[in-house]
Amino acid sequence: MIVATAGHIDHGKTSLIKALTGVETDTLAEEQARGLSINLGYAHVTRSDGSLLSFIDVPGHHRFMNTMIAGIGGIDRALLVVAADDGPMPQTLEHLDVLELLGVSELTVAISKIDRVDTARIEAVRELIASVLARRGWTDPEYFLVSSVADQGIDTLKAHLMAASTQTLAIDENEGFRLSIDRRFNVKGRGLVVTGTASAGGVSIGDALVLQPSGIDLRVRGLRCHDQNVDTARSGQRIAINLAGRVELEGIERGDWLTSPNSIEPSSRLDVSFSLLPEAPFALKHIAPVKLYLGAKRVSGKLALVSTSKRRLEPSDECLAQLILDDKVSSMVGDRFVIRDHAETRVLGGGRVLDPNGPKQGKSRAGRLQWLSAMQITDHELALQELLQNDQVVDLERFWRSRNQMNLMPTPAHSHEFSVKDQTFAVSESYWKQACEQVSALLDDFHGHAPTQPGLRAPELINYCKPLLGTTLTQGVIVALAKAQSIKEKDGFIRTAAFASNEQAEAIPNWPEVEAALKQAGKEIPLIPELAVQSRLTQNQVSDALKVGVERGLLHRISPNRVALPQQLLWFANETIATEAAGFQLSVIELKTQFGLGRKLTIEVLEYFDRVKFTRRIGDKRIIVNDDNVLDRFKT
């Protein structure tokens, strides 16, 4: 278990840790000379069963509040130290604000320097502390009266903390490893070492890790936990990691994260739930400049208010918000954070991360607010179920990765999975059925209003459906309906299976004459002026018929001045396949002979085959690259 101190400067935090552990946590000469903690200090004691109780000693001066917040993340219990002569002071209150915002529920109170005051003063201070704690939700903490100088109450406090340390939280084996770096240094003979408190998962020597937000791949060369070499370490422990990889000391900053590979990408936009402290000194406007503290990271940014119609938050107000940061940070759903004012003079509030990669646009739309509301549910499966019940389209890998789950879990009952571009999504069964019906109905409606048109191209169909279903779901439905043969695609046009374009041929003016002339021409496909003569029509009449015929998929334009029926192109395609199968090269000279045509028409046909990716030209030869799919286009 890890215990962190909290309290005002000069209230005896460091001396109390030394009395409990025998370790001086002020290691800098400046700290020892001034009696002022500047950096985080670390100490531990060994229990009778060999387990360890660790302490993090944080600075109490307001100038080092950022260091205090960096050290408090990931702790199990706080040890609030209040001097009996001073009582609660400004940093006492601010440290308590931080503990409350970071969700530290276990709190032990040590009233220090009791050798300096009488019993009445001690009791008065206890009452003051109890009043302050009750307003923040700590209603029944244990109090201990101590003096490090007179060695009073130390053993009793130590026994209490040792007993409390027997509580061990269960580890989620599916969680990826995460550690926010609070120190980094080089060790002679070993190289780069970083330290921090592991907040999730486990790590072993030889494991691959990623430094975030830079994305640099690293490997664990060695591990130390509480001054001992170990092979493995886990969440809730203070760890020193000896790293191997292409990174220098200057390439790592305090607050960078070490994570398991395939963790969700860092982002400069975090969607969050946020509350402004009741004691906040002022209201917060929309897009107010703030300082974010997340793990050991400190970064500037702006707070955009999302779920409120007000343009400012008053003290005690809560809302959904988006943090728009100056730099990318690594985070996960549920991570707690603290916000200070831009000048870093006061703690203003804090909350939880709801989406580590918030959108730039549409962050206050109703569907987005529904999403964020569901993401406030801490249980992963219940959160996913809530999203699906609200007709949300869920990227499953992103959902589970954003919650630091390395393996995808089964989707809830009454849900439907589908894939788009190698990504797996889920929706509720009812919403999937509704989407399929809407796409089919839209196509039916289109055919009813445009019976001479061959259908809609995929981008057009997606744009029609996008306002109702969104792009991803529409794409998934199109693929599923095509697989079920409810819709068909021909020449880039999507239509319902019931729509028979050939039955509508009579709706094309002069179509019988044009079709008869092309069929009679056979492989000798005429130029358009020749076709007008052969069909005994004017050139304008032929052009109008050809335009509609091409749109309907009844004709294929093989060159600007020549069109062909599907069966004509099918004959050429089969002859090309037979030529290659007989061992002949697919050259213009060879195919001109096989087709029994002139050079110009042969080249036009072959160039058309190249365009539709039936063949590919290599020098003055061609190869067949796709026969089955292209042949289907030419079958009537």
What are the tens digits of pLDDT across the range 147-165? 998 899 999 999 999 888 6
- SS3 call for 90: helix
CA distance linking residue 249 with residue 178, whole number of Å: 19
CA distance linking residue 538 with residue 513, whole number of Å: 11
Class of domain 2-164: alpha beta
Of 262, 264, 261, 270, residue with least CA distance to 297: 270
* Torsion, Cα of 455, 460, 461, 465 (10° steps): -150
Which residues of the chain does CATH 3.40.50.300 include?
Answer: 2-164
| Predicted pLDDT at 453 | 79
Average pLDDT estimate for 570-575: 92
**Confidence tier at 35 by pLDDT (50, 70, 90):** very low
Structure tokens at 586: 């697919």
- SS3 call for 176: coil
| Predicted pLDDT at 433 | 96
Give yes or no for a contact between 359 and 269, defined as CB atoms under 8 angstroms apart.
yes
Average pLDDT estimate for 510-528: 90
Phi, psi of 334 (to 5 degrees): 95, -15
Amino acid identity, residue 621?
A: K
Question: In the predicted model, is pLDDT for residue 60 greater than 50?
Answer: no
DSSP codes of every residue in 258-298:
EE-TTPPPPEEEEEEEEEE-TT-SS-EETTEEEEEEETTEE
| Predicted pLDDT at 110 | 95
CA distance linking residue 313 with residue 195, whole number of Å: 37
Q: Domain 271-358: which topology?
A: Elongation Factor Tu (Ef-tu); domain 3 (2.40.30)
CA distance linking residue 568 with residue 555, whole number of Å: 10
Question: In the predicted model, is pLDDT for residue 379 greater than 50?
Answer: yes
Of 350, 351, 287, residue with least CA distance to 324: 287
Question: In the predicted model, is pLDDT for residue 508 greater than 80?
Answer: no
- SS3 call for 482: helix
Q: Which CATH number fits domain 377-499: 1.10.10.10, 1.20.120.420, 1.10.3080.10, 3.50.50.60?
A: 1.10.10.10
**Confidence tier at 61 by pLDDT (50, 70, 90):** very low
Question: In the predicted model, is pLDDT for residue 166 greater than 60?
Answer: no
Q: Which long-range contacts (CB under 8 A, 24 or more apart) does 525-531 make?
A: 525/558, 525/562, 525/563, 525/564, 525/568, 525/601, 525/605, 526/562, 527/561, 527/562, 528/561, 528/562, 528/563, 529/561, 531/563
What are the tens digits of pLDDT across the range 116-135? 999 999 999 999 999 999 98
| Predicted pLDDT at 38 | 39
Selection from 187-191, 258-262, 553-557 with the highest mean pLDDT: 258-262
Alpha-carbon torsion 489, 495, 497, 501, what sign?
negative
| Predicted pLDDT at 322 | 97
Question: In the predicted model, is pLDDT for residue 27 greater than 90?
Answer: no
Question: In the predicted model, is pLDDT for residue 342 greater than 70?
Answer: yes
Residue 324: is it exposed, middle or buried by C-beta count within 10 angstroms (0-12/13-18/19+)? middle
Amino acid identity, residue 48?
A: S
Beta bridge partners of 202: 234
What are the tens digits of pLDDT across the range 381-419? 999 999 999 999 999 999 999 999 988 888 888 999 999
Between CA 540 and CA 548, with CA 542 as vertex, the angle to 5 degrees is 105
**Confidence tier at 330 by pLDDT (50, 70, 90):** very high
Question: In the predicted model, is pLDDT for residue 32 greater than 60?
Answer: no
Which residues of the chain does CATH 1.10.10.10 include?
Answer: 377-499, 519-634
Looking at 172-186, 330-344, 425-439, 507-521, which range is the least confident one?
Answer: 507-521
What are the tens digits of pLDDT across the range 433-492? 999 999 999 998 988 888 777 889 889 999 989 888 999 999 999 999 998 888 888 767
**Confidence tier at 102 by pLDDT (50, 70, 90):** confident
Which residues of the chain does CATH 2.40.30.10 include?
Answer: 178-259, 271-358
**Confidence tier at 59 by pLDDT (50, 70, 90):** low
**Confidence tier at 33 by pLDDT (50, 70, 90):** very low
Average pLDDT estimate for 30-42: 49
Selection from 225-234, 324-333, 533-542, 607-616 with the highest mean pLDDT: 324-333
CATH architecture of the domain covering 178-259:
Beta Barrel (2.40)
Contacts of 135 (CB under 8 A, 6+ apart): 278
DSSP 8-class letter at 152: B
Average pLDDT estimate for 615-632: 80
| Predicted pLDDT at 122 | 95
Beta bridge partners of 210: 217, 259
| Predicted pLDDT at 137 | 86
Which CATH number does 519-634 carry?
Answer: 1.10.10.10
With pLDDT > 90 as the criterion, what percentage of the chain qualifies?
A: 56
Mean pLDDT of the chain: 87
**Confidence tier at 98 by pLDDT (50, 70, 90):** confident
| Predicted pLDDT at 72 | 67
Question: In the predicted model, is pLDDT for residue 302 greater than 70?
Answer: yes
Question: In the predicted model, is pLDDT for residue 357 greater than 90?
Answer: yes
- SS3 call for 450: coil
DSSP 8-class letter at 12: S
